[in-house]
A and B are shown apart, each in its own frame.
Chain A
C-alpha cells in the first residue's frame, strides 16, 4: 500500500478526485450579503438614533431611526426571499435555540424590526411619544446584537475561512455596520447636525479595516480565500472604498471642527483674491482643469458654493456604504471558495492530527 504522505511536504494533501469535503453555503447573491449589510446598517443606526435622542439631537435621531426601520424591514424581506420555502418563514419562531445563531438571530431581528418600526413610526407621525421613546431605547439595545450576531451566524459553520475567522469577524461586521450606518445617516441629515454620524463612520471604517487586516494576518493559509479570485478582488475594493470613505469622513469632520462659524471668515479671505465677482471666474480655474469639459471646469466653483462638509460627507458616505457592501460580498465569496477547495478543509485538519500524534515540534513547514 502506498504510504508516501510521511515524506511529501505538508502543503501536499490528498482528496477524493479534488472534490470538496464539505458543502459550500447555498445562500444566494445578492440576498445574503445584502441582508448582512442591511442588518448592520439597521443595528448601528438604531444605536445612533438612541444616542441622538439621549443628547437631544432630534433631527439626527429622526434620520437614524427611519434608516434603522427601513433597513431592518428590507433585510427581513431579503431573508424571507432567501428561504427554500418562504411561506414557512414563521417556523423560525417555532423554537428558541441558543445553539443556533440563526434562531437567536431570528428573534433578534423580530424584536429589532419591531422596535425600530415603532420608534420610526412614532418619530415621523408624532403619535404615541411614550411608546416611541421606549422603542428607541429598545432599539438601542437590540441594535448592537443585530449588527454582530451575523458574524456568529457565518462563523458557526464548517466553512474554514468563516469558522477560523470567528475571533475577528464580529469586529469586522461591527466596524462595517458602524461605517455604513454612519454613512446612511450622514446622507439623510444636514451636515451641520451629522457630526456624531461622521465620527461613528470614521471609527467604523477604522475598525473594519483593522479587523480585516488582523483576520487575514492570523488566518495563515486560510487567508488565501480572502485574497484570491473574485473574493480577493471584492475584498480589495472594499478596503479601498472604506479607507477612502474614512479619510473623507475625517476631512469632513476636520472641516467642521471649529463648527460653522469660523468657516465664514475663511470664505471671506478668498473673495478679495477675486477681482470681479463674475468675470474673474475663468482665471480661478486650476490649470489642470482647463482642457476639461465645461461641467468639470465649473465644478470647483460649484463646490465652493456648497459647504465643503456636505460634499466631502456625501462622497465619503457613498464610498463607505459601497465599501461595506463589498465587505459582505467578499466574506460570502471567500467562505464559498474555502468550502469548494478541499485543501482548506483537509490541510488544517491533517496538521491538527499530526500535531496530536507527534506532540514534539518536528521541523515541519507549519508556519503560523
Chain B
C-alpha cells in the first residue's frame, strides 16, 4: 500500500475563483449540475452532490463587529472511518491503495444507502443514471503519478495535495502562523484522528465555525453505534419470539 494521500484545503487563501470546480468537471467528465440562481452569494451550486465534486462556498456575513467574506472549496473528506463505504451493500465503494474512498461505477446498483449515511452530505445518486457518484481524489491521476485536477488548477495553493502526514504538519505550522498574526478564529477541521470519523483524508483550515460553511460541527461515522444497534434489534427480535410464544400459550 502506498502512503496515505490527502488534501489540505487552506480556506484562508481561497479567492473563490472556482477553478477547482471547473478542473474537476473537465477531468472527471462530471455532468452539468443545473443552471440555478440562488441569490444568496456567488455560490449557485449550493453544495456537493453527484454532479459537484468540488464546491466553493461563499459566506457573506454582515455584523456590527464588521463584515466578513469567507470562501472555501469543499470536497469529499475521504474519511478514515467512511460511513458510505461501511454501509455499501455491493462492495462498489472501496478503499484504494492511497487510502482514499472510491465508487466503482460498474458495480454500484444505485441502492442509495451511502447517501443518507454520509455525515457530510457528500455522495449522491445521479437521477438519470441511477448510480452514486462522488470525488475519487482523481484516482486515475494518482495512479499515473499526477496530483488531482483541483489541486493542480488552484492558483493560490489553497488546495494542497500530498501525503497526509506531511499535510498535517504543514497545516499545524500554517495555523501557528495565522494565530501569531492575530487571526484567532483560524482553526483546523477534520485533521484530528481522534474525531468521530477517525480523521479526514481531506481536511481544512477554516476561519469560522464549520456549520457556517455547511460542514457538521461534530461528525460521527454512523457505524460507530452499529454493534449497539444490532444488540437492540436482537433484543427486539427475541421480544417478538416471546410475544408469539405468549400468543400461543392459551388454548383457543
Contacts and interface: CB of A to CB of B under 8 A. Distances in A.
Contacts, number: 270
Contacts of B46: 19
Interface in A49-90: 51-52, 54-55, 82-86, 88-89
A97 B233 contact: no
Contact of B211 (A14, A24, A153, A170): A14
Interface stretch (A226-234, A278-286, A348-356, A359-367): A348-356
Nearest to B234: A148
Contact of A157 (B59, B117, B207): B117
B214 A15 contact: yes
Interface in A1-35: 1-5, 13-17, 19-27
Given A83-B111, A99-B87, A152-B226, 20 more contacts: A1-B207, A2-B64, A17-B41, A21-B121, A25-B112, A26-B115, A27-B112, A54-B248, A88-B110, A95-B91, A99-B86, A99-B226, A156-B117, A156-B222, A156-B223, A157-B83, A166-B229, A178-B240, A203-B247, A335-B116
Nearest to A60: B248
A157 B221 CA distance: 9
Interface stretch (A114-122, A236-244, A299-307, A338-346): A338-346
B172 interface: no
Most buried by B among A152, A159, A171, A335: A152
Interface string B119-138: 11111111001111000000
A135 interface: no
Interface of B: 38, 40-41, 46-47, 49, 57, 59, 61, 63-66, 68, 83, 86-92, 107-113, 115-126, 129-132, 184-185, 207-209, 211-219, 222-223, 225-226, 228-230, 232-241, 243-248, 250, 252
Which DSSP category, helix, strand, loop or mixed, fits chain A's interface?
helix
Chain A interface category by residue count: 35 or more
Query: A-B pairs with the 6 shortest C-beta distances?
Result: A84-B110, A84-B130, A16-B214, A195-B252, A170-B236, A88-B109
A152 B107 contact: no
B218 A349 contact: yes
B125 A92 contact: no
A51 B252 CA distance: 14
Interface of A: 1-5, 13-17, 19-27, 43-44, 47-48, 51-52, 54-55, 82-86, 88-89, 91-92, 94-95, 97, 99-103, 105-106, 143-145, 147-149, 151-153, 155-159, 162-163, 166-167, 169-171, 173-174, 177-178, 182, 195-197, 199-200, 203-204, 207, 256, 259, 335, 339, 342, 345-346, 349-350, 352-353
